[in-house]
Amino acid sequence: MAKPQLRILVTSSLLMAFGSASFAEGLPPELAQNMSIFPGFRAIYENDPSLASKSEIATDAFHILQAIAKHPASCIFANAEEVPFSVTVKKSEVNSYGVEMNSETQTLTGSIAVRPEFVPWVKANIKFMNSNPLSGVRNGVDTLLTTQGCDSEHMTRIEQGLATAFGVSLSAKPTPKLGDGSWETFVDSCYPASVQSYMEATGGEEPSLSMIVYACVCTEAALQEIGDPEIYADFARGDYSAYEQIKDVYDPAFDQCFRQGTTPEIEKRIEDYTRKHGLL
């Protein structure tokens, strides 16, 4: 199933404010239509920190980072670093004259996974962490990841804007490597997606679960020949829209694994996974 592409109509007021239709085209509405009330996000998206204050940028940056960290697409892959946080939040009630009547403090603890390049900035600005998920920025980035994936033009632009705001340079994302443990994470996602696809295609017939594991392990191995992190992530969640563009490399690698015999390492993976999950 191909990933849907979200398109929005840009109002004339947005065009006047931001210069051209290309500025917001393709962004989720909660971002594109409310850019003026998210100055931090606008500064990040336009790669120009001068457009907002440091606190505005920090607040929206954390909403972006939280959306990326929590999204099932796993856009930061295995090189993510966990940064613990403990933030005290004060909630106050005021009367009609603006006088504080009651106040309550809460301590929020947890951790956030971010790219290694972002760790120093995150540690230095952790006070801006906000646990409230009801943010147009956070929800918009989540929608963007769901509809366009990790490496869309917009997400690439946002990550570069974060790097500029944080004063760092981005390194290339690592492609998951065969043997570093990522194969099991891939199968964890591929397995249920493949079972569902098989049953939909056969009108509800249940597949051999061990054969599904076999196919997923061989799919992961074949994708190592491709070396594309986005296609790797797409296949893991059952999106095979890129198959036609990779089949000349993918098919021989998959067939070698699945139909012509596997290596001892692949055989051990299949056996270990099926035993671990009771699928024998």
Find out whether 44 and 65 touch, Cβ atoms under 8 Å: no
Mean pLDDT, residues 12-40 = 59
Give residue 89's pLDDT: 64
Q: Is the pTM of this model over 0.85?
A: no
CA distance 14 to 16: 5
Instruction: Look at residue 200 and tell me whether its pLDDT is greater than 50.
Output: yes
143: tokens are 């929608």
**How far apart are the C-alpha atoms of 265 and 144, rounded to whole Å?**
37
The closest alpha carbon to 6, from 33, 36, 42, belongs to 33
In this model, does residue 19 exceed pLDDT 60?
no
pLDDT at 94 over 70: no
* pLDDT > 70 fraction of the chain, expressed in percent and rounded: 78
pLDDT in tens, 58-81: 999 999 999 999 887 677 766 789
Residue 272 CB partners (closer than 8 Å, separation 6+): none
In tens, the pLDDT along 158-192 reads 999 999 999 999 886 654 444 455 788 888 888 88
Please tell me the distance from the alpha carbon of residue 259 to that of residue 75, in angstroms, as a whole number. Answer: 32
